[in-house]
Amino acid sequence: MNNVIVLPLLIPLVTAVILIFCSKYVRAQRLISAISVVMNVLVALFIVNQVNHEGIQTLHMGGWLPPYGIVFVADMLAALLVLTTLIVAAGCLFYAFRSIGEEREKHYFYPFFQFLLAGVIGSFLTGDLFNLFVCFEVMLIASYALIVLGGTKRQLRETLKYMLINIISSTLFVAAVAYLYGTVGTLNMAHLSQRVAEVHQDGVLSVIGILFLIVFALKAGLFLFFWLPGSYSAPPAAVTALFGALLTKVGLYAIIRTFTLIFYHDIGGIHAIIGWMAAATMILGSLGAVAYKDLGRILNYNIIISVGFIAFGVAVASSDSLNGAVFYLMHDMIAKALLFILGGIIIASAGTNKLSEMGGLMKRHPLVGWMFFIAALALVGIPPLSGFLGKVLIIRGGLSEGHYWLSGLALASSLAVLYSLIKVFTGAFWGDVPGPRDTQQPVRIHRTAYAAVIGLSVMVIVLGVGSEWIYSYTSQAGAVLSDPSLYINAVLKE
């Protein structure tokens, strides 16, 4: 057992409780939050190194051995996603310091930020489905508060829709967990994998698997994404960046873990459905990204495209595609955080979110412009940036398994990403400032915002240039996804 692996979950929980009592002291909240996140990044780096050298780490809470007790599991997939989550959180936090507004800061923005981190990290580290549900709810309750914080009419309207969708999906989640427990008598993921293999994945278990797919697809925005573009446009840019980088990825992680560890026996059944959902998501996301001229909507539909692309890698379920899905998931979390923070800076500088009313920002903020260009190229998959290797592996896996039309669709979606983001780049940064904004004073970008976007831009470049080194870690995560016995033996060996 390894007690260290629960620290990334405990640190934000303890920090959130402390911050509740500091609500009137904005500077103290900023300092405590920053120290907490930086310290947690160091803990996550330690865990990744430990998993790399010693293999999968487990913690049996209270000394109860699985399948009877609560277990936390840090395989390479979970460890890398925890580390990436904390890097993204650091960027969003530093951007929020001067952009979120003191009114929100005094109304518990930082405690809810930390609670959301605890929910996300707990979802990655938990080893049983009921605990996954609990961590999902911690994450969602914090997100409800963050999306409504500020109380504008638009936020209230979108919060109601967001809450309703998630309450329905959580209800379905509880029902699916109950049906699965009633069928096989356990909720420990490693034990579930054994039990499902023993009784074969057909009949009622296939129905339960589809129910889990619906639940996680709602949370990830996989095909059932109708709630996402409006809900993610309502809160401030720092919150939207956090949501776009993390929340849909937790749903994707749940799909990856569930359908490579538990329901992986019927590749022609549920995995085929995931493939069709991925195709529809990429098509509809591409149409939205190309059609809209509202910056927020364009960026939100780019989230949807990437969700479909990663789901395509899961549907193929080959070694290459799973390795690529892990690598691309890490890349997309960082690149989306960078993209949405830059989007927030663009909107604040232009005073509008309509591309037709923007222009000339390159003269005032050239560094922001070129960092946006780098983020766009990374999301398209241009080498040597971070999106290249993940895309190559997923598409190579699709072609090797005979998924030619899905691979072609994935490539076409990359062209849609390129068109939509270059449209933003040219519309916002080039040309003349329209109308009376020529006389506006330039908006000052605070140094903490620059620190956030420069740090995330460096990470995008490092993930690409150092992709061979990073792949030595992501391939370990892909090996566990391809061979569930590695996970099962690590959890149940004691």
What is the DSSP track for 368-427? Answer: HHHHHHHHHHHHHT-TTSTHHHHHHHHHHHHHHTT-HHHHHHHHHHHHHHHHHHHHHHHH
Element (H, E) at 57: strand 57-60
Element (H, E) at 186: none
pLDDT of res. 356: 86
* Tally of CB atoms within 10 A around 194: 17
pLDDT of res. 487: 95
Distance from C-alpha of 254 to C-alpha of 177, rounded to nearest angstrom? 13
Listed residue (138, 144, 114) closest to 126, CA to CA: 138
Cβ proximity of 60 and 74 under 8 Å: no
Facing residues of 73 across strands? 58
Supply the DSSP symbol for 444: P
Distance from C-alpha of 96 to C-alpha of 106, rounded to nearest angstrom? 13
CA distances from 239 to 94, 113, 287 (A): 12, 9, 25
pLDDT of res. 151: 77
The label of the residue with tokens 């538990």 reads: 262
Distance from C-alpha of 303 to C-alpha of 289, rounded to nearest angstrom? 10
**Residues 263, 209, 320, CA angle at the centre, nearest 5°?**
40
Structure tokens at 3: 């007690």
Average pLDDT per block of 10 residues along the chain, 494 residues long: 92 96 92 97 97 94 83 96 98 93 91 97 96 96 93 87 93 96 93 89 86 95 91 92 95 96 82 95 96 94 97 95 97 97 93 88 91 96 94 96 95 96 93 58 78 96 95 96 94 79
CA distances from 45 to 39, 85, 282 (A): 10, 12, 33
Cβ proximity of 98 and 237 under 8 Å: no
Structure tokens at 342: 């830059």
